[in-house]
Every structure is written in structure tokens, then in C-alpha cells.
Amino acid sequence: MNLADSAAALRARRVSCRELAQDALRKIAELNGRLNAFLTVTEERALRQAEALDRELAAGRDRGRLHGIPYALKDNLWTKGIRTTNGSKIWQDHVPGESSAAFERMESAGAVLVGKTNLHEIAYGVTSSNPHFGVVRNPHDVDRIPGGSSGGSGAAVAAGIVPLAMGSDTGGSIRIPASYCGTVGLKATYGRVSRYGAMPLGLSLEHVGPLTATVRDAAIALEALAGYDARDNATSHRPVERYEPDDAAVKGIRIGVPENFYFEYTQDEVRHSVEGALGAAETAGVRLTPVRVPDIEALNTISRVVLLAEASALYEPYLDRRELFGPDVLALLDQGRFLPATDYVNAQRARRLAQDEFRALFCEVDLLATPTLPITAPRIGEKKVTIQGREEDVRLATTRFVRAINLIGLPAISLPCGKDSTGLPIGLQLIARPFEETLLLRVAHAVEMALS
Amino acid sequence: MIASALDLGVPDAELERTAHVLDALEQSFRPLAAGLPFAAESALTFVAEAGRE
């Protein structure tokens, strides 16, 4: 059952908060041996919390649509009194004394935490094949990666264990597992959701957001998560809107379809599926407009420079103990240490100009539509993929269409738009102007409806 | 770079791999940096009045 349906069933007294929590916990027990999506299960706490929430509902206190909904948090989000590993040997036994803003807001909305999800080590990678806590597996094919870094969250939602799981996204880490696992993944505008208590990786790039089964569910989660937080200087004072999509018409909304970059070196089945979704969107009333996007390859290079420098700066104090890190993460951290400081400053200067280019582009269109990823989920352990005759590193191929959006801080969503011939999910990415999440979610919902 | 790598304790084999990756990244990045207008501002601008409220 998705989040909105569970919320409706609770209010119709067809199910209790305790029964929803028990169901999620039963599924974890049944499936986690196969998927390795959860690092910590908070069974006792969840059942206690669910019973208290049942008593609240019986007494007429309803906290809203998340009341009694079981959910999971990526294990890089602090949970006071509950282990938070960041997928790292450094914090393998770390129990934080404070909670992340995401956890606090979910708690106050009445959502029931059932566990913490596995991730790529320190959220720095796309496979979620964690050297310390084991490989996370894709529920659609357990020999394949779920994507990352929020791989456990993607797998948990895709397997139907929970209707909602939180992730974080520094270079695509919410949208990537959403696309590979066939869920919805939402990264709101930089500064819309507080990052407080999210263990940092790339300070100027990272976002916290939900993975869900439907666009409506992502909107419900965002309403609870969004808003100013004095502990995160990047958060905005803009009022939180009502993001839940209504059935308002999308007629005339201009969707830019890139003529350059986004459909190049993309698997044929991915391209066909995304084109099919855009056709459905057009039938629903949107206007498709061909556009030329800024040099995304250049933005990806700039983004790599920024992230390498920011991540290595943060991890410098731990790098004299190389045995703490897996080889892929250590390689990236080494790279960041040897980048000249001038490169970092120039990357941030180029970033400002890129922001201006996107602002100009969004005068022509209201949204952009692209494939989320050029490929479907690679096999576990696969290092290279061949796309239209060109061999490419799995990490670079996986981040190619998503990471530039973190550099610009734009809101973006990935939603399922089909499957390849082997049954692996394909994602459509929609991108909007800063703080236009309401429009983004309305159009995403319309596409989802058109495809169903 | 080699001297600083020795100070940082990066083993030779890894250093070589790192240098190879960074060379490729630099080749893509340097022309972009060289093309920046002289007065281009950073996306990270210090604001004196900003801070925790």
C-alpha cells in the first residue's frame, strides 16, 4: 500500500498504526536477508511509537497524512539514540546525541521509523556495494545494483517494505536509486529542506529528500520536510507551499526537451521509454518544446571539481587511517587532496555563470524533461558499461544526467516511465526553476497518471 | 605533487592512478577556467550579515 492509501485506510479504521508498522517489520524480516537494504531495524521503538499514535487517533488527535506511516531513514541522517553509521567504518558504532532535521520533522508529523537504510560508503558513490556493511541488491534483479548512494532507501521502497524512505542527493543520490529501482525520488531546491544532521559530503551540493512509490507520496513527504531551519544557513525563509498535486490542468505548460546531450549515448530502450512518456504528457496537455541546454558535460566537470575538493576537505582528518575506507571512496578522497585550491575557486566562479545560463533557459520553458540515467541498473561489480559502442565508467555514466542539477540547485524528480526488455525500470527526470516544486509535482503527477 | 603525496602517505601505485584521473579531469577543466571573465564572482559569496539566527 502506498503512503496516501495507507493514510486513507488508517482514517477509515481499516488498519491501525501498529498493524502498518508490523507489516513493514515483517517484510524487513522476510526480505532483508536478500536485499541488505537495512542496517538497523528499530522494531521495539516502532511498535511502541505506533501504539501511542493509535491512541492519539482514537483520542481525536490527527497529525496529518504521515500519522502512523512506517518509513525508513538513510543511515547518514542522525537519529538521537539510534546508531548512525554513514555506511562507514569510522562511525560503525556511532550513536548520535542529536537528531537530524529530517528525523525531527518526520517524528513530529507522526511517521514511524522502522529502520535505517544501507548506503554507499559515506554516501560517496553510485553502487551501494558497501565494503563494510555489504552489497545492497536491486529488488527487480538481485544480481544488479540498486544505485546509490541512497541504495537501501530505493530498494526498501521498491520492494514494498515501506512506502517512504529518506535519502540524500549530492550528485544524484536520490534520483539514481529511484531510477534503477523504479520508485519516485525527489530532490527539492537547494535550501528548501534542512540538511541539519545529514552527515556532510559536499557542503554546497547536498540535499535531503524522499523516495516513494508515487508522486503524491513524495509531495506529502516534502510538505513535512520543507521549511526554514536556523541550524542550516542554506535554508530559505520562503513559505512552504501545499505540494500535494491536485488534478489541475497541465494544459499549455511548456516542457523543454533537450536537443543536445541528454539523449546522446543513451540506451535505445531508455530513449524510447522517455519519448513514450513525453508523448503521454503531450496528450495530457503539456506543450513540448525542443531546447538546447547549456554545456552539461562542462557542468559535470565543474561539479566533479567541487565535490572532490569539498569531500576531501571534510575527510582530511581521517585520511591518515587509510584502512578505514574502501578502495573506490579512498581513490576519490585522494583525488580531492591533490586538486589545486585555484581549481575549486574557479569551479565556484564557473558555477555562478552556469546558474545564469539556466535562468535564461527557464525563460523559454517551464520545466525540462530528460532521462534520469542513460542506462538501466548494471550488474553488481560491473565497472564499465558500453552504450552505443562507447565504453564508459559505471559511476560517470550513472551520474551523467543528474549531477549538474545539484550544481545549479534546481528541484528535480525522477519517476518511473517504463521498463527495458529484461524488466528493469527506467526513469524520467523533470527539472524546474528554483522553488517551483508545486509545478514540478503537478506535472510529474500528470505524467504518472497518463502513463498508468 | 610527489613530495606532498609522500607526506600524505598515498602509496605509489595509488598515486599513479590518482595522477592519471586528475590529469584527465584537469584537461577538461582548465579550458573552462581559462575562459572565465576576469571579474566573474564565485557562487559562494561571503555575506557579512549572514549567520545563525
The pLDDT value recorded for residue B13 is 84
Q: How far off is chain A from B15, nearest CA to CA, in Å?
A: 8
Residues A244, A242: Cα–Cα separation, whole Å: 6
pLDDT tens per residue across span A260-271: 999 999 999 999
Helix, strand, coil tally for chain B in percent (to 5) = 55, 0, 45
Residue B6 clears pLDDT 70, i.e. is over it: no
Q: Do B22 and A305 touch (CB under 8 A)?
A: no
> Which residue out of A353, A406, A410 would a mutagenesis test of the B interface target, given it has the greatest number of B Cβ atoms within 10 Å?
A353
Reported as type and span, the H/E element at residue B20 is helix B12-34
Q: Which of B4, B17, B41 is facing A331, going by the closest CB pair?
A: B17
The pLDDT value recorded for residue B9 is 80
Cβ atoms of A255 and A281 closer than 8 Å:
yes
The pLDDT value recorded for residue B10 is 85
**Residues of A whose CB is below 8 A from B41:** 349, 352
Identify residues of B whose CB sits under 8 angstroms from chain A CBs.
1, 4-5, 8-10, 14-15, 17-19, 21-22, 25-26, 28-29, 32-33, 36-37, 40-44, 50-53
The pLDDT value recorded for residue B42 is 95
The pLDDT value recorded for residue B47 is 79
Q: Which residues contact A230 (CB under 8 A, 6 or more apart)?
A: B52, B53
What pTM was computed for the model? 0.97
Q: Do B14 and A347 touch (CB under 8 A)?
A: no
SS3 A243: coil
**Residues of B whose CB is below 8 A from A301:** 25, 28-29, 32
Q: Which parts of chain A sit beneath pLDDT 70?
A: none
Say what the ipTM of the complex is.
0.90
Residue B50 clears pLDDT 90, i.e. is over it: no
* Nearest C-alpha neighbor of A194 from the set A164, A224, A165, A235: A235
Contacts 24+ apart (CB under 8 A), A77-83: A77/A102, A77/A103, A77/A116, A77/A166, A77/A168, A77/A197, A77/A198, A77/A199, A77/A208, A78/A103, A78/A197, A78/A198, A78/A199, A79/A103, A79/A113, A79/A116, A82/A40, A82/A42, A82/A45, A82/A113, A82/A116, A83/A39, A83/A40, A83/A116
The pLDDT value recorded for residue B5 is 61
Residue B1 clears pLDDT 70, i.e. is over it: no
Q: Tell the residue number behind the cell numbers 508515487, with chain if given.
A: A214
Residue B52 clears pLDDT 60, i.e. is over it: no
Beta partners for residue A431, in sequence order: A368, A412
Q: Do B25 and A352 touch (CB under 8 A)?
A: no
C-alpha cell at B32: 573552462
Q: How far off is chain B from A149, nearest CA to CA, in Å?
A: 21
Q: How far off is chain B from A265, nearest CA to CA, in Å?
A: 19
| C-alpha of A210 from chain center | 6
CA-CA distances (angstroms) from residue A239 to A64, A91, A223, A435?
Answer: 19, 36, 11, 10
Strand stretches in A55-169, DSSP E:
70-74, 112-117, 129-130, 134-135, 164-169
pLDDT tens per residue across span A410-428: 999 999 999 999 999 999 9
Residues A313, A71: Cα–Cα separation, whole Å: 33
